[in-house]
Amino acid sequence: MSIIEQLTESLRCLPGVGPKTAQRLVYYFLKNHRKQALILAKNLDEAMNTVIQCEVCNNFAVSEICTICKNPNRNRDLLCIIEQPTDLLAIEQSHTFNGYYFILTGKISPIDGIGIHDIGLNKLERYLKNEAVREVIIALTPSLETQATLQYIQHIVSTYPVKLSQLAQGVPTGSELQFLDPITISTAMKNRHLIDA
Ligand SMILES: [Zn+2]
C-alpha cells in the first residue's frame, strides 16, 4: 500500500468520512495545505500522547487532576453529573454553573452488558465521601439507559445528606447537551427540579 493509500485509509477513522471524502482530504493537504497538515499531525500526536482522564471527575486533563477540579474558586456545594467532556464545555459556555462536574464513563445498559461497575460510579461514591457536596445535579440525556443509571445514582446519593436535582424542560427529549445552545442549557439549569433520593 502506498503512503497516499495508507493516509487515505487512516483518515477513514474520522466519523462520517467515507473513502471519497478521505481521498479528497489527502489531495487537499498534499496540494497546498502541507503546513496545516503538519501542524494537525503534530497536535494530534501531542494530544494523543499527553491528554489523560482526570483522577477525580474523568474530564480530559494534561495532569492527574483537571483544571476545573483544581480551581478552588468554584462552588463545592454543587456537583453536576454529565455524560461526556463535550457536555462540560456546553454547560461552561452557558455560564450558569459554578460547581464541579463528574463525567460518567458510560450508562448502565444490561442489553450491552454494561453494569454498575463499568461506568465509574465507585469514583462518584468516593467523591461524595471526600467532598461536602450539598446538591447533585443530573444533566444526562433522557433514555432508558439514563433511567437505569439514575436509579443507581439515587441509591448512592441517598446515603449522603445531599439533594438530587435534574435539569428541567428546555432540554428536548433525546437531544444531547453538546448540541444545545447556551440559552437552552441555562434555562434548564436554572429550572432544575429536585428528585426524591
Ligand atoms: Zn477533574
Give one DSSP letter per residue of 149-165, joined into a string: HHHHHHHHHTTSS-EEE
DSSP β-bridge partners for residue 52: 61
Strand 163-166 and strand 135-138: the pairing is: parallel
3-state secondary structure at position 81: strand
- Ligand 1 centroid vs 65 CA: distance in angstroms? 5
The pLDDT tens digits for 134-180 are 999 999 887 777 888 888 899 889 999 999 998 875 556 667 878 77
- Å from CA of 153 to ligand 1 middle: 19
pTM above 0.85, yes or no: no
Query: How far apart (Å, rounded) are the C-alpha atoms in residues 121 and 168?
Result: 23
Rounded to the nearest angstrom, the distance between the alpha carbon of 103 and the centre of ligand 1 is 9
Residue 51 CA, ligand 1 centroid: distance in Å? 13
Span from the CA of 79 to the centroid of ligand 1 (angstroms): 11
Cα distances (angstroms) measured from residue 192 to each of 44, 120, 174, 177, 188: 38, 24, 17, 14, 6
d(CA 72, ligand 1 centre) in Å: 12
Give the residues of the chain that fall short of pLDDT 70: 169-174, 197
Angle at 82 between CA 128 and CA 119, to 5 degrees: 70
**Would you state the pLDDT for residue 180?**
78
**pLDDT at site 41:** 96
What is the C-alpha R_g of the chain?
A: 20
Distance CA 62, CA 137 (A): 26
Q: How many Å lie between the centroid of ligand 1 and the Cα of residue 56? A: 5
How much is the pLDDT for 33? 95
User: What angle do the packed helices 144-157 and 121-130 form, to 10 degrees?
Assistant: 30
147 C-alpha to center of ligand 1: Å? 25
What is the CA(134)–ligand 1 centre distance, in A? 18
Give the distance (Å) from ligand 1 centre to CA of residue 48. Answer: 18
- How far does the centroid of ligand 1 lie from the alpha carbon of residue 105, in Å? 13
State how far the Cα of 155 lies from the Cα of 140, in Å rounded to an integer: 17
Whole-number Cα distances in Å, 69 to 49, 61, 164, 192: 22, 10, 20, 23
Please report the pLDDT score of residue 146 as a whole number. 81
